[in-house]
Amino acid sequence: MPEEVKSKNFIENIIDKDLEEGKVSKIVTRFPPEPNGYLHIGHAKSILLNSGIAAEYGGQFNLRFDDTNPTKEKEEFVDSIIEDVKWLGADFRGEVLYASNYFDQMYEAAVKLIKKGKAYVDDLTAEEIRQYRGTLTEPGKNSPYRDRSVEENLELFEAMKDGQFEDGSKVLRAKIDMASPNINMRDPVIYRIARMTHHNTGDKWLIYPMYDFAHPIEDAIEGVTHSLCTLEFEDHRPLYNWVVEELEYPNPPQQIEFSKLYLTNVVTGKRYIKKLVEDGVVDGWDDPRLVSLAALRRRGFTPESIKSFMELAGISKSQGSCDYAMLEYCIREDLKPKAPRYMGVLKPVKLIIDNYPEGQTEEFEIENNSDDPEAGMRKITFSRELYIEADDFMEEPPRKYFRLFPGNEVRLKGAYFVKCTGFEKDAEGNVTEVHCTYDPETRSGSGFEGRKVKGTIHWVNAADAIDAEVRLYENLIDEEKGKLNEDGTLNFNPNSLEVVNAKLEAASAELKPGDHVQYIRNGYFVVDIKDSTAEKMVFNRVVGLKSSYKPAQ
């Protein structure tokens, strides 16, 4: 077999060059979430990229909360983010860092800029600052406060810190260039006054640094070598560089942008997910129809499947959506050798074998997973009354229907051939039971070589099948009909959740929350980690068995 050569992405190429030129020695990366929501699949791309690079180069990966904006932050999110990063297997050495622990150093950094004549206190209102900023085509205007002396600026900034001014009445701005073609460089605000209680620093601070000022300082303090972020920060890079240069950090970090991950048919983006949760469209942040990591975990996706998905998706600077089917492909590939294959009937109808002795039970041995010989065998029981899928019987079948219909014979998986002899219906015309006879000669494993049948269906023994709630999911958004309605609202798929009362093979009772199983012909399932109990098991369908995605090659 030829050795597989994994081609490097553009970020790895940059790092290789930096190492070669001796610009860096130990690689340090970070994932900097704002604790204002749950992480989603897009964040997983960033986490796996950053932690993967650190691991590949024998470097260090930091988990650092970007908690400089206390209005939107919540402790609840901190905990869930840590759990998600751990779940993905990203190694942050159990050490959780907080940008808010650097507030003193950020304050000192601002003072340093003032002393260098590179920052000033401005009394313009927010609205005036906006007006003075100019537009993409017109340069901005200098603030009348731009030329305050260093002494006056130092005094005013200290007074801002000490609470001598109202919220919003003054700001500290970097003194760069009001005529810069890049609006981010037109004297950006770097500190504001805001009397807010911070989850980490409490009421210590009345002034808070702005993201564009704080972020490069956080990176520099931690010795981050490559600060990987998404493309919307490309225009902020000159400011990032300005901050680390003016503050004269000896080994300044380097910002590199890559494109965000988007998925078809799902809602990514913290803001949008938050809205779905708040509007009650879904049942919480971990509703299995969402692509928050908590939801994907609950839906039954594994960290391995998410990793292989990110490898297929790749890292680049070009924007585009990945097909949700690719993620489904990855979870199928992961579960194929791992999940036992049981029988489970999602929409049951009774099948009565009229010539099978009443009160008799027999056992069959069947393999747990035909793709994994190590998985061994298990026993299933068989008796006169079984359940089969309502879909596996038709009173008047169309052509090419090879399952049960009056007069037709099928194989019951792992057991006998049965021939349909009749059925019963209720007043509404629903089939309530199907009758058949079995042929004792056709016992599975007996070496029966007689006639062939075209259809094989699954079944469970009515006597020992367990009842379970099974949740069947479809995409939340129906992109085939267009992602948005005419009024700009999202076009929801009304069938995104169907709940059925299933009859499952007895072995299912041994499964624990989070365990995976394939119910043959029906797909891969997971025992719900939130709602399943020993008395009433709840399963989520992770994915069906048929794939619409084929990997390249």
Backbone angles phi, psi at 97, to 5 degrees: -105, 150
Three-state SS at 348? strand
Of all residues in this chain, which one has the CB nearest to ligand ATP in the complex?
42
Sign of the Cα pseudo-torsion (486, 487, 490, 496, in order)? negative
Among positions 6, 271, 400, 546, the unique one binding ligand ATP when judged by CB under 6 A = 271
Q: For the beta carbon of residue 533, count every other beta carbon within 10 angstroms.
A: 9
Beta carbon nearer to ligand ATP, 44 or 174: 44
Least distance (Å) from ligand ATP to the CB of residue 209? 15
User: What x/- string results for residues 223 through 262 when contact with ligand ATP is judged by CB under 6 A?
Assistant: ------xx-----------------------------xx-
Least distance (Å) from ligand ATP to the CB of residue 51? 12
Beta carbon nearer to ligand ATP, 227 or 522: 227
| d(C-alpha 506, C-alpha 342), whole Å | 9
Q: For the beta carbon of residue 400, count every other beta carbon within 10 angstroms.
A: 6
Decide: is 33 part of the binding site for ligand ATP (CB under 6 A). yes
Three-state SS at 431? strand
Q: Any bridge partners for residue 202, and if so which?
A: 198
| d(C-alpha 397, C-alpha 137), whole Å | 69
Beta carbon nearer to ligand ATP, 153 or 292: 292
Beta carbon nearer to ligand ATP, 69 or 442: 69
Least distance (Å) from ligand ATP to the CB of residue 127? 26
Computed over its alpha carbons, how large is the radius of gyration of the chain?
Answer: 31
Q: Which amino acid is located at 487 in the chain?
A: D
Interface with ligand ATP by CB under 6 A: which range of 29-37, 325-333, 367-375, 480-488? 29-37
Half-sphere exposure of 442 (CA within 13 A, CB side): 18
| d(C-alpha 369, C-alpha 179), whole Å | 68
Decide: is 269 part of the binding site for ligand ATP (CB under 6 A). yes
Decide: is 270 part of the binding site for ligand ATP (CB under 6 A). yes
User: What x/- string results for residues 40 through 59 when contact with ligand ATP is judged by CB under 6 A?
Assistant: --xx-xx-------------
Number of residues that bind ligand ATP (CB under 6 A): 15
Decide: is 442 part of the binding site for ligand ATP (CB under 6 A). no
Pairing label, strands 96-98, 119-122: unpaired
Half-sphere exposure of 109 (CA within 13 A, CB side): 28
- The number of angstroms, rounded, from the C-alpha of 205 to the middle of its chain's C-alpha atoms is 35
Interface with ligand ATP by CB under 6 A: which range of 32-40, 216-224, 383-391, 464-472? 32-40
Beta carbon nearer to ligand ATP, 120 or 258: 258
Beta carbon nearer to ligand ATP, 244 or 538: 244
Beta carbon nearer to ligand ATP, 165 or 272: 272
Q: For the beta carbon of residue 442, count every other beta carbon within 10 angstroms.
A: 18
Decide: is 174 part of the binding site for ligand ATP (CB under 6 A). no
Decide: is 34 part of the binding site for ligand ATP (CB under 6 A). yes
| d(C-alpha 146, C-alpha 153), whole Å | 10
Closest CA to 247 of 394, 77, 112: 112
Structure tokens at 88: 């993905």
Decide: is 278 part of the binding site for ligand ATP (CB under 6 A). no
Interface with ligand ATP by CB under 6 A: which range of 38-46, 107-115, 425-433, 499-507? 38-46
Beta carbon nearer to ligand ATP, 247 or 263: 263
| d(C-alpha 75, C-alpha 472), whole Å | 33
Per CB under 6 A, residues contacting ligand ATP are 32-34, 42-43, 45-46, 229-230, 260-261, 268-271
